[in-house]
Amino acid sequence: MTLVTLTGEPWADYGLIDSGNGRKLERYGRFRFIRPEPQAMWAPAKDDWKADGEFIPGADEDGGGRWQLSPEVPAGGWLLAWREAKFTASNTPFRHLGFFPDMAPVWDWMRGRIEGAAAPECLNLFGYTGVGTLALAAAGARMVHVDASKKSVEAARGNAALSGMADKPVRWLVEDAGKFVAREVRRGRRYDGIILDPPKWGRGPNGEVWKLEEGLPGLIADCRRLLDADSRFLFLTVYAVRLSAIAIGELVRQHFADLPGKVEAGELTVREEARGLELPTAIFARWSND
C-alpha cells in the first residue's frame, strides 16, 4: 500500500487565504469567512484578517457553536461553481458551508478513472448536497446518489437544476447507506465506481444508528461486493475521527486483495494561498483499477 497526499489547489470560487493560531480564513465566491481549525498550529501570515463572518465554536469539542455574519451575507445562500457543477453555498449550523471544497482533487481523480468507459454507473454514498454526484454526471456517469437526509437530497436535486443537469441519469435516494448497499448486494448489482464519505456518527431515515468504527468494516466489505475486475475505483474519505490513514488503507487493501489494481491511502490537504503551505483536512483510502 502506498501513502500519498492529495492536495486541493485554489480555484475560482474557493481558496484557503491564510491559516494559523487554530483558525483559517477562506474565500467562498465574493465572501470571506473565518472558521476554527485545530490543525493550524502555526502562526498566520497576517494578523489583520478581514471577513464577512466567523464561526464561534461552542464549549463542546464535538460540535456546537454559532455564526456571526455581516448583513451582506445572504441567509438563503449564494451561487458557486466548480467546473460544470453549480451549487448553493450557505452558512450551516455544522460550521461548514454546504459542501467540502477539499474534495475538488477527488472529483478530478474520479473523473479520470471513468474516462473512456462506456456509460459507467457510479454510486455516491452519504452524498450530501451532491457536488461529487454532479462532477461525475457531467463526465458521463450514470449516478446513484444516497443520503439519509431528505433535506440534503432535496438540496442536491436543487444543485442539479442550477447546473442544468436535472435531466442527467441520476437516482436520488433518501436511504440508510448501509441498508441500501446490503440490498444492492442481494440484488447482484455492480458499479464501476463508488465514493463514500461516512460521518463519525449519524442516524438513518428510520432511526438507524451509525458509528463509524463499528459500521465501516462491514460497509467496505459490501462495497467490495458491488465492484468487480472491470470496475474503476472506490474512494473513501473520513473526517474528524481519531483514526490513521494507514488503518483505513489496510481495511480497503484486505477487502480488495483479490482484485487487480492498487490501494493507496493518505491525507487530503488544501494549499494556502498566502504561503503555499498545506493544511490537512481529512484522511482517505482509495482503490483504482487503472
Q: Which of 138, 226, 217 is closest to 180 using CA atoms?
A: 226
Given pLDDT bands bounded at 50, 70 and 90, which one contains residue 209? confident
* Ranges of CATH 2.60.40.1180 domains, the chain: 13-80
Position with higher pLDDT, 211 vs 77:
77
Tell me: the pLDDT tens digits for 120-162? 999 999 999 999 999 999 999 999 999 999 999 999 999 999 9
pLDDT above 80 (res 31): yes
Given pLDDT bands bounded at 50, 70 and 90, which one contains residue 208? confident
Tell me: the pLDDT tens digits for 86-116? 999 999 999 999 999 999 999 999 999 999 9
* Average of per-residue pLDDT across 228-236: 98
pLDDT above 80 (res 272): yes
Q: Which of 286, 271, 288 is closest to 104 using CA atoms?
A: 271
* Ranges of CATH 3.40.50.150 domains, the chain: 96-288
pLDDT at 213: 87
Q: Which three cell numbers stand for residue 87?
A: 451549487
Given pLDDT bands bounded at 50, 70 and 90, which one contains residue 290? confident
Position with higher pLDDT, 212 vs 279:
279
Homologous superfamily, domain 13-80: Golgi alpha-mannosidase II (2.60.40.1180)
* Average of per-residue pLDDT across 209-218: 88
pLDDT at 206: 78
Q: Which of 184, 197, 206, 199 is closest to 285 using CA atoms?
A: 197
pLDDT above 70 (res 62): no
* Cα–Cα distance for residue pair 9/104, rounded to 1 Å: 8
CATH number for the region 96-288 comes to: 3.40.50.150
* Average of per-residue pLDDT across 229-254: 94
Q: Which three cell numbers stand for residue 60?
A: 463542546
Q: How many CA atoms lie within 13 A of 233 on its CB side?
A: 26
pLDDT at 77: 98
pLDDT at 60: 61
pLDDT above 90 (res 242): no
pLDDT above 70 (res 250): yes
Position with higher pLDDT, 134 vs 203:
134
* Average of per-residue pLDDT across 51-64: 82
Q: Which three cell numbers stand for residue 231?
A: 470496475
Residue 282 to residues 71, 118, 186, 242: CA-CA distances in angstroms?
32, 32, 32, 11
Indicate the residue type of 143: M
Mean pLDDT of the chain: 95
pLDDT at 55: 97
Indicate the residue type of 164: G
Tell me: the pLDDT tens digits for 6-22? 999 999 999 999 999 99
Indicate the residue type of 14: Y
Can you give the chain as a three-state secondary structure string?
CEEEEEEECCECCEEEEEEECCEEEEEECCEEEEEECCCCCCCCCCCCCCCCEEEEECCCCCCCEEEEECCCCCCCCEEEEECCEEEEECCCCCCCCCCCHHHHHHHHHHHHHHCCCCCCEEEEECCCCCHHHHHHHHCCCEEEEEECCHHHHHHHHHHHHHCCCCCCCEEEEECCHHHHHHHHHHHCCCCCEEEECCCCEEECCCCCEEEHHHHHHHHHHHHHHCCCCCCCEEEEEECCCCCCHHHHHHHHHHHCCCCCCEEEEEEEEEEECCCCCEEEEEEEEEEECC
* Cα–Cα distance for residue pair 274/284, rounded to 1 Å: 26
Say if residues 244 and 265 touch (Cβ distance below 8 Å).
no
